[in-house]
Amino acid sequence: MEILYVLAAVLVLLLIMGISINNGIIRRKNMVVRAWADVITYERQKNETLPALEKQAAEYKDHEQSLLTDIASLRSALKRASRGTVNTDDLAAIEASTTKMMAGFNVAVEAYPDLKMSDITMSLMREISELQDNIAAAISIFNGNIERFNSGIQTFPNSLVNGMGAGETVYKPFENAEAASSLGFSPQQV
Amino acid sequence: MARNRKKNTNEPKQHNKRLSKALGGLITLAESTTSNKVLAKGIVLFEELPKPVDYIGYIQKAWQKLLLGITRVVLSILASFFSMVFVEKYTDLQIYIILFLGILFLFLLLKTSSFLIKKFTEVPISIEAVSDFIYGCSELNANNLKPQEFDATSHAQHLAKKYKSFRKGDTQGRRTGTFARGHHQGAEHSFDFDYFTFHYYEIIGDHVTSMFRTGILLKFPFAQDFFLEPSNSRKRAAHIARHGLKTNRLWPRKTEPSWKSPSISFNEQIAVRAKNSMAAAKFFSPSILKAIEDLDSMLTLMDMEFTSNYDLCISCSDGGLLKKARRYSLKHPYAFSLEIAADTGNPTIQQILKAVHTLMKYSDNNFDQKPDLTAAFETEIQTGER
C-alpha cells in the first residue's frame, strides 16, 4: 500500500514538472513571437522616414531616380513582412533593401556637400541611424529569445515533454548574410 | 658634548613638527587642486624626509626604556626572593601568594605602560589616514569630480524624499558618505551629475548589517515614473547571501513587474515598475534595453529610478565605485606620487555615464532642439532642490 502512495506521489510530481516545462516552452515561444513583432514594428518605422527621404531625393537631382526606386523596393519588402509569422527570410529582404537604399542615399549626399550639412539631412540621417541601431538591438533580442527557446525544447527532459505535448520545432535565428560574407568565415560543426 | 646631546634630543621633535606642517600643507593642496599632476608634485617633496616617512616615536622609546628597567628590577627582586626561599623556608602558601602578587604587579605594569604609551605618543595625524585622504581626493580629480559640503544625515533625509533608492534600511541610520559633482560631455548630450555613496543599516532581530550603496544622480528629461530593480529571484538570492534563510518582514516581497520587456534575458535579470505601461513600451526601445542590460551585468544589484520630476538615480551595491585599494602611501612618496599621477579615473563610472548618454540618445527626438541639461541642473542647485 505504501509503495502505491509513493508511486502516486512520484507520478503527481512528474505531472507537475511536465506541466511546468510545457508552460515554459509556451512562454518562451510567445516571447520569440513578441520579439519578432518588435523587429517588424521597428522595421516598419522606416515607413515614417521614407516620405522625408523621398522629399530629400528631389534635391539630389542626379540620384533622384535611383533613390526613389530603392525606396519603393524597401516599401514593398516592408509590406511583405508579417508581425505574426516568424520568417527571417522576409527580414533578410528588408535589411538588404535598406542597405541598398542607404548606400544610394550616402552616395547622393556625398555628391552634394551643401545639402549634406543641412539640418534636415543631418537630423534625417541621425534618425535613420538610430532606427537601424534599434533594429539591430531588436534582432539581437530576437536571436537571444530564439536561443533560449531552442535550448528549452532540445535539452532533456524538456525535449521529452515537448515531444509528448507542445510539439514545437526549432526557430532559425536571423543571420546577416552580407555581414557574414564580409567576414569570410562561418562557424562549422566538426 | 652636552650641547650635542641636547641637539640630538631635539631632532625627533623638529622632524615631527616639520612632518606635521608638511602634511597640513599637502592636505590643503589636495583640497584646493583639481590636478593629480600638481598633487603628485606636492607628494614628491616628501622625498626630502628620511625614509620611510613617519613620525619618530621618541616618547615611546623613552617609555620602553623605563618599562624595561622596571621589569628588570621586579625580576631581580623576585629572583632574590626565590633564592632566600631555600634558606628561610617559607611555607608553600606564602610562596604562591608572593609569586602571584609579583606576576599581578608585572601584568598591571605592562597594561598601564601600554595605555600611557598610547596616550602620550598619539601622533597629530596618521600617515596612513593622510594617504587615504590624498588618494580619495586624487580619485575625485581623476574622475573630474568636485566634492560638495553637506550634512550626512539631513542630506540622506533630503534625498530619501526624492528617491526611493534612499529609503532603504533603518530610517535613523541613513547617511550620505561622499557627494561630489561632475560633468559628462557626450557626442550628442552633455550633462551634470552628482556622485554619491550612501550608508544604511538593515536590522533583523538583534542582528544589524551595515549596507552600502553608490551611484549617480542627474536630470533626465526624456522619461519619468519608472523604477528598475533586480528581479525577485536575484533579490532573494542577495538576501540569503547577506542574512541567510531568516524569514521576517525584510524578506523581499514578490512583486510582479508592471511591464515586461520582449527580452527573456532582460526579464530574468531586471524588473520594471512603471506607472504607465504604454509609456514604458515607448521608452524601453531595444537599444535602451540592451544598454540597461549591459550596465546591469557590470554592476551589483543595480537600481535605476526615473522620478516624476525627471530626475534619474542609478545606484548599486558595489563597494564604492571610486574606492580602489591604493598600493603605496606617503611613507614611500615617490612611488605614491607615481601611483596618483597614473590614475586615469574609474572605468565603471565612465561606463555608467556612457550608458546614460546612450539612454538619452535613444530617447530624445532627433528633430527637436536638445534640452540644456546643465542649465536645468544649475537651476536646481540655486533653488536648493539638489
Do B203 and B186 reside in the same domain of the chain? Answer: yes
Residue B337 contacts by C-beta under 8 Å, 6 or more apart in sequence?
B40, B41, B43, B44
Contact list in A for residue B285 (CB cut-off 8 A) is 42, 134, 137
B137 and B98 in a common domain: no
Task: Measure CB to CB from residue A31 to each of B264, B362, B367 and give the nearest one.
Answer: B264
ipTM score of complex: 0.79
Cell numbers 560638495 correspond to B148
Clarify whether residues B153 and B102 are in a common domain: no
| Among chain A residues, CA nearest to B264 | A145
Tens digit of each residue's pLDDT (9 = 90 or more) over A126-150: 888 888 888 889 999 999 999 999 9
Shortest distance, CA B219 to any CA of chain A (angstroms): 22
Q: Is the pLDDT of residue B202 over 70?
A: yes
Q: Do B290 and A141 touch (CB under 8 A)?
A: yes
Q: Are B184 and B353 in contact (CB under 8 A)?
A: yes
Neighbours of B361 (CB within 10 A): 20
In the block, residue with C-alpha cell 506541466: A19
Is residue B283 less than 8 Å (CB to CB) from chain A? Answer: no
Q: What global pTM score does this model have?
A: 0.72
The domain tally of chain B equals 2
Question: Tell me, what amino acid is at B363?
Answer: S
Q: Is B313 helix (H, G, I), strand (E, B) or coil?
A: strand
Q: Which three cell numbers stand for residue B311?
A: 530626475
Find where cell 537651476 sits.
B379
**What range defines the domain where residue B222 resides?**
128-382
What residues of A are in contact with residue B367 (Cβ under 8 Å)? 123, 127
What are the residue ranges spanned by the domains of chain A? 2-174
B67 and B135: one domain?
no
A131 with B287: CB under 8 angstroms?
no
Whether residues B72 and B176 fall in one domain: no
Of A28, A31, A141, the CB nearest to B289: A141
Q: Amino acid identity, residue A19?
A: I
pLDDT, one tens digit per residue, over B265-300 is: 999 999 999 888 889 998 999 999 999 999 999 898
pLDDT at B227: 92
Chain A neighbours among B 358-377 (CB < 8 Å)? 361-362, 366-367
Residue B133 CA: distances (Å) to CA of A190, B139, B367: 58, 10, 47
Q: How far apart are CA B332 and CA B46, in angstroms?
A: 9
Peptide bond into B252 cis (omega under 30): no
**Euclidean distance between CA atoms B68 and B45, whole angstroms:** 38
Distance from CA of B361 to the nearest CA of A (A): 8
What single string gives the DSSP state of each residue in A62-87?
GGHHHHHHHHHHHHHHHHH--SSS--
- Residue that finishes a domain, picked among B109, B127, B145: B127
When pLDDT is cut at 50, 70 and 90, the band that residue A32 belongs to is: very high
B328 and B200 belong to one structural domain: yes
Instruction: Examine the domain organization and report whether B162 and B307 are in the same domain.
Output: yes
Are A22 and A157 spatial neighbours (Cβ–Cβ below 8 Å)? Answer: no
**Listed residues B70, B94, B127: the one ending a domain:** B127
| Percent of chain A with pLDDT strictly greater than 90 | 23
Quote the CA–CA distance of B343 and B339 in Å, as a whole number: 6
Contact criterion met (CB below 8 Å) for A113 and A88: no
Query: Between residues A79 and A24, which one has the greater pLDDT?
Result: A24
B34-57 tens-digit pLDDT? 888 898 999 988 888 877 777 776
Residues paired with B316 in a beta bridge = B214
My answer on whether B222 and B281 are in the same domain is yes
Q: Are residues B119 and B144 in the same domain?
A: no
End-of-domain residue from the set B127, B145, B172: B127
Cα-atom radius of gyration of chain A, to the nearest Å?
24
Interface residue ranges in chain A relative to chain B, Cβ cutoff 8 Å: 28, 31, 34-35, 37-38, 42, 123, 126-127, 130, 133-138, 140-141, 144-145, 148
Helix (H) or strand (E) holding A31: helix A2-44
B277 at A interface, C-beta within 8 A: no
* Interatomic CA distance for residues B310 and B359, integer angstroms: 13
Q: Per residue in A144-186, pLDDT tens?
A: 999 999 999 999 988 898 888 878 888 888 877 665 565 555 5
